[in-house]
Structure formats: C-alpha cells, structure tokens
Structure 1
Amino acid sequence: MASPLTFSWKSKLLSVLLCCLAVHAAIELNVDDDASIRNAAATAAYGLQSWYNGNQTGGVLGKFPYPPFYWWLSGAVWGGMVEYQQYTGDESYFNVTYEALVSQISPTYNYLPIAEKFDEGNDDVAFWAFGAMSAAEYGWPEPPEPYPTWVGVCDNVFNDFVARWYFANDTCGGGLKWQIFESSAGYTYKNSISNGGFFQLAARLYRHTGNETYYEWAKEVWNWSTTLGFIADTGNGYVVYDGAAEPLNCTEFDHTLWSYNLGVYLHGTAVLANVTNNESNNWTAQTIGLLDGVRYFISPFSNATNIMYEQACATRWNCNVDQFSFKAYLSRWMAQTSILVPSTAEKVRQILRTSAEAAVKTCVDGDDGVVCGARWYLGAWDGTLGVGQSLSVLEVIYNLLVR
C-alpha cells in the first residue's frame, strides 16, 4: 500500500500556489495506450490518496479530513478506488480501501455511523453502499465478523430506504427525503440523488442476486421519478432535475441540472437493460434517453467539444467542494453503461477520451503528489484543488480501460 503523506490542506494549497503556477501538466497520457492510461491513473491515484489522513494520528479511519471534505465524499472516493483496482489491476490501495469501507459500517450493520448523524442524508448513505456493492460485484473478501457480507450491508441499506419511503409516503406520492434525521437542514426536500441512489442500488442488488423484490422497488422508484417529473424527456435527451420541496407536495421543482443526478439513474437503467433483456419499461430506451442528456454536461464552448463540465457552476466559478467531484461519478457510470449496453460504447468512449486528455492538463505537481483543477476545458490548472478535483481526474482516466 502506498503511504499517503501527512499534510495540511491549506498548506498544500499554498505550496501549489507558490511553486506550480507556471509548470507543465504533471500527468502524461496517451489515450490509445493502455500502459500510459494505467501510469496516468496511478499518478492521479497517488495524488488523491495524499489527501487522506484517516490512518494517521489525528485522523478518522475511512474519512478524508473535515473540514473541508464531508463524510459522503469519503464514501464516494472508496467506491471509486474499488473500481480503480478492478480496471487497472493496481492493488496498491486495496488495504486502505477495504479498511475504510469496513470502518464506517455501523453497529446496525449499515452505513449509519453515530458520529456522522448530522451529515447523513439518504444520498450520503447510498454512496457508501455503492462502494460496498462494487466490492460484492468484484468478489472482494467479505467484512470480518460480526459484520454481514457486502451484499448483506447493502440489503440493510436497501431496507432502510424502503422503510423511509413508506414513512414519507404521505407527500409527493412517495419518494425519499433528502435527509434522514429531522434535525438536518433539507429534511423537507425530496431530491433526485437520494432517489436515484435507491434506484441504482436496487437495480444492482437485483442483478447480483436475482431477487425480484429489488427489481420491483427499482421499477417503483423509476416510475415515481418519471411520473412526478424529476426525470423529463426534452426531446433532445432526458434531464434530471435536482428536487422539490415536500411542504408544497413537490409541485415546484428546483430545475438545476447536476451531472451526478443524471449519472446515478443512467447506471441503474443500464443495469436493468442488461439483466432484464427489456422485458418491461424498455430499459435500453431509457438508458439511451439519459445518455443523450449527457449533452448538457459536455462542450461548454465551441473550442471544447466533448469535454465534461458541471454546467450549473463551472463557468460561473461558483462550484462548492462537493460539486467538484460530480464529474467523477458521471465518468464512472457512463463507463459502466458502455459495458452493460454495448450500443452506447462508442459515444461514451468519445466523451471519456476527449475529457481525459483535457483533464490531465489541469494537473500540476504539489509537495505531496499531483493536484488537479476542475475546469478541464481551460487546458491548464484553474487554481483550485481538492479531493473532488483529484477524484474526477482519476475516474475519467481509469475509465478509459472499461471496455
């Protein structure tokens, strides 16, 4: 296991600002050469892991430091690291990833650690469950006793989602709330990423186990999302709106488009298209509709064709710490879609190739490893750095190997 270095994220920023403003890109990448892709991904992975201090004195096992990085983002990183190992073959981070995913399993054998009560939304839990689900899909060693299997942990998360769906069933015709606890801001908001997380987890559990209960719930969440209007067909690709206020019975939407909202449903429909052979709901057509909607997250300018960007915030220069990571999940879930629904592969690969070539140009050398920017279309570092930026670059690189 590579040993991440001790750091202060503020000193990391200062060191990069002082030393690296004028240097060339720190990651070399030939998108037509698998060895180059693996080398570039390894460099990006080391840079990402240099942010982690959970296995050092003063850190919390499984967690990247807060502030500024919330609990959910740690789960998202470890899910990405499971995928990274699967497609690159690099086992350098197996121990730290396995340890992290196990460390946050709660005494109720799900992902509800008491220490994170005020930062646990349904979407946050889903991202930790995605990592556990990937561990199950790729045959990782099971968690140690007394914990259940990875599938058992995911099943517990699934059953929690079902119970919370029924609890909130008196408004909006169903749906998960954003937050789990009434004390959390956003408790009266129902959003796409929480319900999309439920949908994707149910779809993947169904594909992995064959249990029809998971499929029935995947259909329930999809039908609710489309009937309510969270997912809409524009005639030029699907859009997935952020959410709606529960006190207004979800009659007024927040129409903001975020890439991970679309991506989370995309992977779910692709899983169902693969496993059901389109017996119902025409899952391939739904997958194509969502993939067409990726157009809203690529090509910000005429000279930046097929480069991914976060259209709600990137060009306005007001993305927050979480939003810097969203392109990571769109890359991951598009790549998975290209395997599950092969007719999508050419389009996905074109976007990933162009985006990866642009993304590595935003990376520069820092004291503790490579750091990367967020605005890939600039062709140079944009002055930002963090876990989300590093994760996004890592995922767009290694997903070139998903084929």
Structure 2
Amino acid sequence: MLLYIPNKLISTKKEIIQKHKHINDVHIDKEDSDLRTLINRLVCLNEKDIKREAFALENNAIDSIAAYIPVNYYNVDMSNLFAIFTYRAEKRFFEILYNAWQDHFRNNECNAFIYHWLNNNDEIFGSILDISLKEEYRKMLIRGDVIQGFGEYVKDNINKTDKQLKEILEPWKLSYGRSLLWEMKFLLYTYCPRKYYFMISKEELLSFVKQYYVKKDGSFKKFVVNFVTELKLVELEKYDDIGNYLLGAIGNPGTPEFFDFFGDTSEKIVTKYTDWINRLIIDDVFENDERSLFWREFRFKSVTKYDRSNSVVMDMGKYYVTEFLGRAMGPMYFYKKDIFDEKVKKWFVNRDNKQLRSALFNHEDYYFIRQEHKKPYGNEYYWQGQVADILQRYNMTRRISD
C-alpha cells in the first residue's frame, strides 16, 4: 500500500465526491472574495444586531455559513456565526454543516458548538440521523478524538451484532470521499476486534502498520495496543514480520525509547508485547536450536544480543543470565543485577568472543552460578532441568503462560 497520495488518487477522490455528491453538499472556496467579505462583515456585528441580520440573510448565505463553521478559514471569532446558525437552524443547514464537518472533524471549537447546539435540537438532528445516535455523537464530539469514539462504537457493535463495518456506519450517513469515512476505513486496524486481523493478509496488514508509523499522529501506538490486546501470545507469534518492524520502530524492550513509547499503557499489555518480542529475539539469536526452545518459555525484561562478542544477555530483573551464541555454545553465567551492571556489562560491548569468554571464566567472584550445557548419555534434556531448577530455586523468573 502506498505511503503517499499520488495525483491520480487525489483526482479519483474528487470524482468519487462528485459522483456521490449529496443534494446538501456545499463547496466553499477560501479564496472567494465574496465569502471573505460576508464572514468579515458578520463577525463584526454588534450583539444587538445579530438576530435581525440572521433572519435578513438569504438562504445561500446561511448555506455558506453552515459550510464555513467547521473550517474557519480566516481564523475569526466564531461567536456571531454560531449565533446566526442557531437562529436559522433547520434540516437543510444542519445537513450542510454535518457534511462539511466530516472533512474537519478535528476542529474542537466546531465540535463544542455542535455538542451544545444539539441540546435543544432533537427534531432537526432526528430529521437527518436516527435520534438514538444523538448521545453517542455528542460523546464523540466532546471527548476530543472523533476517530477513537467512532472506533469504540464500531468495535462494540461488531462484537455485539457481528455486522460488517459498512453496515455499522450506514446509519451515520457518512459521505463517500469525505475524510472521516476514509480515515475510519484506513484506521480500521487501530480499533478493530481480533477477527478482522485474520481477514487481511499479513503483508497488507504490515503495509498499514508502516503507514501508521509514518503518519506520526498516534495511530501507530493505537494499532500496537489494540493488536496486542486482541490477539493471544501464540497468535502474535505468527506475525514475525510485523514483530520485527515494531522492534525496529519502538526499540528493544527495556530501553528508554521502549518506555517512552508505551508510557501509561497498562502493564498487562506491555508484558504481553515484551513476551512476544523477546521470543522473536530468542528464536532469531539462537536460530531455533534447543536453547531457543528452552529460553522462550520464560519471561524476561529484555533480551539483548551483542554482536562483537557474539553473545546474548537476558534480563530477569534481579538477575541476568548470559549465553554465547554459535554452535560452540559455552557455559551460561548467572549474575546478580548490581554486579553485572557495574562490573560485567561493559565487557559484552567492548570485547570479542574469545576475550569475553576468558573474562567471565577468570572472574569467579563476579558470577553467581556457572552452568554448562551438559547432556549425559541417555538424558537429552539434562541441562534444561538443571537450569529450570536454578530459575525456580532463586525465584529469578517464571514461565510464560499463554
């Protein structure tokens, strides 16, 4: 999926708007001198003249005001325009406002006006949309994130009724080509229930994820949180390409970038995400050997590979365990956190594999336990049992339960 909007797509969007144009769609042009003159004159009216002027205006002027309210091209004080619209409000003008709003639904001043205006205009609202939608609409307007509000509404309805997105949005009469409907479809994977992730190819879903990241508008984080919330760990593990992309974009678990990204996200979601990414790293660094099968069953704060020393360090909170990579393996070393952070960690960065092996072996006073990958004849899983016993005995970490 494209990460930019080519001219052909822009023209296609305009054609769609024209083809599906509603009878009460009104287009206003920012460069229209007559529009500028009208708006500037109305915003300068004294309060005592507003009502008289409102009823003196021709319908086409009210059309323009209704279409202007969501955009405020000239950044004027909107009080007089809100008052004029309120005096003249009827079905046609609200429909014009509602259609224009769908391209400018992030205008909080307009949203606040509509929210309060709806208090006393059930009849007009009900002539356009089902009155049962009014409170849901007001809730979306006041919360400050219309897309998220629609997303929660859609998700709730999908779970309750098993309807498709098109069916759920139909009562809202969202216009083709308007930004709101386009974004609702584009951002579907930031709020959808789990079954929708299985209805799209992994390649296409990844293309959406990359676009969310490029947008830098919060949609990327919303996708991550929703994706991890909806899917089980065993299901997340089937999305290696997406996991690797997230690892590069967010950073390794345990890093400052990682914590900055997740911020106030619930601990449950962060833990599941961390388990997923750590398993991805473990499978990659151990190349799915017997150590990968063992270590992926346990929970870590982070798993970090050090290229120069060809080694990996697994952080368990109060303890660390280290492994050498490659077929030669080598012993595991267990360290208490304070000793490792202060005296040992730097060796993994600035020494090669041979130098690191020597340093760890010759500093017996640093490591807590040294454990070899022993496999006595007839007992293929001997070392795994020994290490599992160490982890349990010292309460270093625990197994992940899917």
The TM-score, its normalising length taken from structure 2, stands at 0.30
Between structures 1 and 2, the one with greater helix share: 2
The TM-score, its normalising length taken from structure 1, stands at 0.30
| Greater RCO structure (CA 8 Å; 6+ sep) | 1
